[in-house]
Structure 1
Amino acid sequence: MRRIAVFRALQLGDMLCVVPALRALHRAAPQARITLIGLPWAREFADRFRHYIDAFMVFPGFPGLPERIPDVAALPRFLTDARMRRFDLAIQLHGSGALSNSIVALLGARRMAGFHQADGWCPDPATFLPWGEPEHEVTRYLRLMQSLGCSGDDTALEFPFEVTDRAAVAALGPLPPERRFVCIHAGARMRSRRWPAARFGQVADGLAARGWQVVLTGSIEEQAVAAEVMAQMAAPAFDLTGRTTLGSLALLVARAGLVVSNDTAVSHLAAASGTPSVIISSGGDPLRWAPLDRARHRVLYAAAGCRPCAFEACPIGHPCALGVSAERVLDAALELCGSGPVRASEMTS
């Protein structure tokens, strides 16, 4: 196989979860040219992971696929470009295959691989696995690679840094010393995935009372959420919401002594850097998305018969989020890191 396409048009956290699969693929086929097909933002992801990814194609979206509004006019040009690349293999890493298998088939690759639903189309029984029972996102796609002959079971996440990331952090101004601050990330793309901002504020105050300095992170769209957190707090905080790049955010997470966040991309950045974290899972599936290292990362959630859900906002009062108290989160943080901030050399693995 000289030319391999990988289709996964999803967000940062989803992409980080397939890094072990990409690593296994590259190690098995080091001479192959691997092209990632993803959302526009993922061009930076492909560039950062250039040790596994050789080229990038922007996916223009497709009717019925919710990740982006489809640019239907761009689809013919995209598919023509894909076919001209004459892929030997196209790997579908975009879920169960209900719609994504048809999209990958349009790329014109000589062979396809991926997952298929039990009652759905299976393009090739030799290279497609049944979607099957709930499974962790990392191990599921690593298992697919193993079925294709890629050896290895390394589930570790990673996030490579650039020199520009350090410069971007320095440009943020004076910040707390490394390992002496907690990163509080209260936002999430979907409101159903957000633990109450007021409770984040209570946890932040509890940690501040024990010597932690507090750094708030988030996107520009999450500035209102951060403002809610700060309104609840009595302690001061460094509010970096809307001011970080992808690289500087990841570096802040790596330098933090602790991360407290929703089950979102930041939780996967913490897993990639080894920074201890307490993750509150609201609406999602902890079995599928929780960090695999349960000693360094604690995932808290409340049982609810309706989870996992696909609602943007919970229509029944958000019991899965409200069922996790601020005291429970603070207790988990203190159990991980003791009564106050510690340096990396003092942390147990």
Structure 2
Amino acid sequence: MEGTIRDHAAGRGVGPVLGKFDGVSRIAVLRGGGLGDLMFALPAVSALKAAYPGSTVTVLGTPLHASLVQGTAGPVDDVRILPYAEGVRPGQEDPAAVDTFFADMRREAFDLALQLHGGGRHSNPFLLRLGARHTVGTQTPDATPLERNLPYAYYQHEPLRALEVAGLAGAPPVGLEASLEPLARFAAAADGLLDQAANARAGTAGRKAGPVVVIHPGATDPRRRWPAGHFAELAAACAADGCQVLVTGDHSERQLAADIVAGAESAGAGAGLVRSIAGEADLGTLAALLVRADVMVANDSGPRHLAQALGTPTVGIYWAGNLINAGPLGRSLHRVHLSWVTHCPECGADVTQVGWTAPRCAHDSSLVAGVRPENVYSDVRLLMATSPHLRGRPAFP
């Protein structure tokens, strides 16, 4: 194995960078999942586009991914929505729809296809059905091999894993983390949300609008969620310190956001100083809002990764295992508060044993409840003190 890699190596990246394939102009990247999952793949997409100038990269993803690509400026050229299929996109599988998808994709005549969706038990056979000339991706011991394979280990930083796969396709890194820009057409909607928050503060005892703190209390896995009461305590402290506080979320998180607003008011925040915008902002508007925020506070979640990609300072609440896979690499703009819990609070199951070989226990109790609000707020204040956004709202490209 060592001799084979060195004989074909073209340089070094996160791992070996092998020789490029010839004649690559159409590239497919398989990455299902949530918002953060696509963000983890973006550095690899940038590397591929640099290694194969003039190529187009199509992400095989989800409607949420399509919304992000349409709502921001980034390296992905287009998104094709995956059909429901086991291990690739959860849902009721329709064999006819799957067959139609692959017929359409084979007509695209992809030169290169990358599998960045798990260990490959289901996603490698799925990728092979595209009919691409070359295939590269991750592989667990029980997965069908591709042309070039990266051994899959659950605990690896996801963007770096994707970059390691890109290296096997001949693409060295051009950046280690995702980078996105907001689009001008969403600026007015973002300004409207900010102006409503500013007016609420201005109408309270004649106060002026202060720094903008965005709070996102949701996460796909309930165990990654900081308790609503902790977010409420933090929001109240931010409001008392002169901040405009906006609580974000999708339609399903409206009640959670409302509970945090109510809790903040009970803790002393004046009416309207902490405001929910859950369900009010599409991804383009959220990006335009986040790029103008001074700090975002969130669980390990897609919106936190989006804020980071936009250059907005963040304070993240993480379970230690998730930090390995999904944490920010730097600490000048991005602070993290860790929970070192290793066993389920309800049944005592070892929660560090996760991934493709170890099904999780049935309990959803928070693994990050022990993170203290006062410690989180300390980092919020430090980041606000150095926020470049306080010198004026940034321009849109």
1:176-232 superposed Cα distances (whole Å, 9 cap, x missing partner): 399711111112233222110110000111122222221111111101101111121
SS of aligned partner of 2:187: helix
Seq. identity, % = 32
Query: Given that residues 284 and 309 in structure 1 are in contact (C-alpha distance below 8 angstroms), is that contact kept between their aligned partners in structure 2?
Result: no
Give the counterpart of 1:155 among 151, 176, 185: 176
Identify if the C-alpha distance between structure 1 residues 182 and 9 changes in structure 2 by more than 3 Å, giving closer, same or farther.
Answer: same
Cα distance between partner residues in 2 of 1:279 and 1:258? 11
Cα distance between partner residues in 2 of 1:261 and 1:107? 37
Larger Rg: 2
Letter in 2 for 1:331: S
Shift of residue 238, structure 1, vs aligned partner: 2.4
Give the TM-score normalised by structure 2: 0.78
Question: Equivalent residue for 2:7?
Answer: none
Give the counterpart of 2:131 among 96, 104, 108: 108
Any stretches of 5+ residues in structure 1 without a counterpart?
Answer: none
Letter in 1 for 2:160: T
1:137-173 superposed Cα distances (whole Å, 9 cap, x missing partner): 1111112212222133411422232222112223445
Q: Given the alignment of the two structures, is residue 86 of structure 1 paired with residue 109 of structure 2, yes or no?
A: yes
Q: Given the alignment of the two structures, is residue 188 of structure 1 paired with residue 233 of structure 2, yes or no?
A: no
| Range 58-67 or range 80-89, more displaced | 58-67
Question: Equivalent residue for 2:315?
Answer: 278
Cα distance between partner residues in 1 of 2:89 and 2:111? 28
Question: Equivalent residue for 2:67?
Answer: 44
1:250-271 superposed Cα distances (whole Å, 9 cap, x missing partner): 1211111111111101211221
Aligned pair count? 342
Query: Given that residues 316 and 334 in structure 2 are in contact (C-alpha distance below 8 angstroms), is that contact kept between their aligned partners in structure 1?
Result: yes
Identify if the C-alpha distance between structure 1 residues 48 and 220 changes in structure 2 by more than 3 Å, giving closer, same or farther.
Answer: closer
Give the TM-score normalised by structure 1: 0.88
Cα distance between partner residues in 1 of 2:254 and 2:321? 23
Shift of residue 128, structure 1, vs aligned partner: 1.3
SS of aligned partner of 1:167: helix
Cα distance between partner residues in 1 of 2:296 and 2:123? 34
Give the counterpart of 1:326 among 365, 373, 383: 373
Identify if the C-alpha distance between structure 1 residues 48 and 28 changes in structure 2 by more than 3 Å, giving closer, same or farther.
Answer: farther
Question: Equivalent residue for 1:134?
Answer: 155
Question: Equivalent residue for 1:146?
Answer: 167
Identify if the C-alpha distance between structure 1 residues 317 and 38 changes in structure 2 by more than 3 Å, giving closer, same or farther.
Answer: closer
Question: Equivalent residue for 2:15?
Answer: none
Cα distance between partner residues in 2 of 1:109 and 1:330? 50
Q: Given the alignment of the two structures, is residue 240 of structure 1 paired with residue 299 of structure 2, yes or no?
A: no
Give the counterpart of 1:304 among 322, 329, 341: 341
Identify if the C-alpha distance between structure 1 residues 254 and 309 changes in structure 2 by more than 3 Å, giving closer, same or farther.
Answer: farther
Give the counterpart of 2:249 among 208, 212, 218: 218
Cα distance between partner residues in 2 of 1:59 and 1:51? 20
Give the counterpart of 2:97 among 74, 90, 109: 74
Q: How does 1:49-60 map to 2 (within 5 A)?
A: 52-60=75-83
Question: Equivalent residue for 1:249?
Answer: 286
Letter in 1 for 2:374: E
User: What's the C-alpha RMSD, in Å, of the aligned pairs?
Assistant: 2.7
